[in-house]
Amino acid sequence: MSLYDDAVLVLKGYEDQPELCQAYLDQLAAHPDGMWKACEAGHLTASALVIDPSRGRVLLTLHKKLGMWLQMGGHCEPGDPTVEAAALREATEESGIAGLTLLPGGLVRLDRHPIPPPCNWHFDVQYAALAPAGAAETISDESLDLRWFAYDEVAGVADGSVVQLLEATRVRL
């Protein structure tokens, strides 16, 4: 199965955010290249909120280009077998933490947001990744900083999409 086909299956199986989910499916139907960064009309991205429930905290990255505290994530790559795998790869690469596992239950949220030209939109497919005990993060070249934040600190440093992802993740926990 292709990554495109996996994304369509994941989205068709997602029961929350029905209007936004349909917008994702419409985007993919209109743009067969909508999994890739080269699709300037907008493309899917995959992200994961790295969470340490035992300590009530999340790891955020200070995004190099945007200067914002965000969850780990980025573009899908040809070697990604599934959207989940892309999210886990991005979380592992950007956090430097080995042994991350995705929260059971799959997709947590969708977040469509505008991005600077030449592209127009990121259609982000969001997951949550559980940090193993004793996880040690390492800053990647895509990040200015990595920092653990207590759940109640996230709203003070991150935008509403990250806060909503944290809330949805905590409901799953």
Q: Residue 159 and residue 144: Cα distance in Å, rounded?
A: 17
User: What average pLDDT does the segment 31-50 reach?
Assistant: 95
Q: What is the DSSP string of the chain?
A: --HHHHHHHHHHT--SSHHHHHHHHHHHHH-TTTTSTT-TT-EEEEEEEEEEGGGTEEEEEEETTT--EE-EEEE--TT-SSHHHHHHHHHHHHH--TT-EEPTTS--EEEEEE--TT--EEEEEEEEEEPPTT------TTEEEEEEEEGGGHHHHB-HHHHHHHHHHHHH-
Residue type at 2? S
Question: In terms of residue numbers, what domain contains 82?
Answer: 3-172
Helices 3-12 and 83-95: crossing angle, nearest 10°? 100
- Per residue in 102-125, pLDDT (tens digit) is 999 999 999 999 887 777 899 999
Q: How many domains does the chain have?
A: 1
Could you tell me which residue, 120 or 168, shows the higher pLDDT? 168
pLDDT average, residue stretch 160-164: 97
Query: What are the pLDDT digits (tens) for 4-23?
Result: 999 999 999 999 999 999 99
Tell me, what's the pLDDT at 94?
Answer: 95
Asked if 28 and 34 touch (Cβ cutoff 8 Å), the reply is yes
pLDDT for the residue numbered 87? 98
Residue 101 contacts residue 139 (beta carbons within 8 Å): no
Whether 97 shows a pLDDT value over 80: the answer reads: yes
Inter-CA distances, 61 with 33, 78, 115, 134, 169, Å: 28, 24, 18, 18, 17
Q: What is the CATH number of the domain that holds 52?
A: 3.90.79.10
Look at residue 46 in the predicted model and tell me its pLDDT: 98
- CB environment 141-162: b (16+ within 10 A), e (fewer): eebeebebbebeebeeebeebb
